[in-house]
Amino acid sequence: MDPIRVTVRRGGVVEAVHRVHVASTEGLLHGEDVVCFLRSSAKPLQAVPFHEAFDDLEDDELAIACASHPALPEHLAAVRKVLARGNATVDDLENGAQEGRPEGKLGHNCSGKHAGMVAACRVNGWPLPGYRFPDHPLQQRVAELIGPAETAVDGCGLPTYAMPLSRMAALLLRTPPRIADAMRARPELVGRVDGADVALMLARPGWLAKAGAEGLCCAVSPEGVGYAFKVEDGNTRALPAAVGSALGVEEISRTRLRNSLGELTGVIQV
């Protein structure tokens, strides 16, 4: 079957086309079983060492540890809460800073994940410096959870893992129930509310989803079917339409485009 074709229209003219490949735990649905990097879609498993280190984590702490957040006040407050739990400071984070975001390293979209890792290191007696490198005990535990894969360095400095979509589709099925429950309870902490993952969880309670850079999104239905979506050209704007169309979630299957005056100028849809 061909990839999903997501079009970007301005008026009656198609300005761009994005091809989206989709696999599920029940088989390939659209396009090819392409190999790509998990990027932030791995965060629910990267949060497992944090989950294993504490038995009293609250929903906001677990959700922010899985987040690709936009650095709103509620996100930064949750990251600070995780750092306090680990008796750590922003200086202990090894994710760097992102241009245009507030509060330096704290404002990085992956700071919650890094804060959770620092807290896990503190409890386990692992060294904090260098926790992001592949030979560190924390990253060895994450690699064990994810399984064999080619690795590279992610945007925040951590290892990232490459595999075919068919394997990615099953990945979030291994998310511990407590982490999954926290993401479902606090989806607004997991990312942008207009992102495919958060929009899906808000529109359909019971779903679990996490998007990653370069147009990736992994999801699990309440019935336990896993999905992986990959935009071939890496443009994340095509994800809501593709996810909504493939999963029958009409609320997110059409993105309206507006100009700086708030005027409707176009639409993104399958």
Here the CATH number for the domain that contains residue 163 is 3.40.710
How far is it, in rounded angstroms, from Cα 188 to Cα 135?
Answer: 33
Is the model's pLDDT at 154 over the cut of 90?
A: yes
Q: What is the pLDDT of residue 1?
A: 86
| 3-class secondary-structure state, position 104 | helix
Is the model's pLDDT at 199 over the cut of 90?
A: yes
Q: What is the pLDDT of residue 82?
A: 98
pTM over 0.85: yes
Structural domain that includes position 55: 4-269
**Number of domains the chain contains:** 1
Q: What is the pLDDT of residue 224?
A: 98
- CA angle at 217 for the pair 215 and 221, rounded to the nearest 5°: 160
Average pLDDT over residues 164-172: 97
**pLDDT-derived band of residue 192, with 50, 70 and 90 as boundaries?**
very high
Residues 216/38, Cβ–Cβ less than 8 Å: yes
Which of 170, 228, 234 has its CA nearest to residue 33? Answer: 228
Would you call 250 exposed, middle or buried from its count of C-beta atoms within 10 A (0-12, 13-18, 19+)? exposed
Please provide the size of the chain in residues: 270
Q: What is the pLDDT of residue 93?
A: 98
**pLDDT-derived band of residue 109, with 50, 70 and 90 as boundaries?**
very high
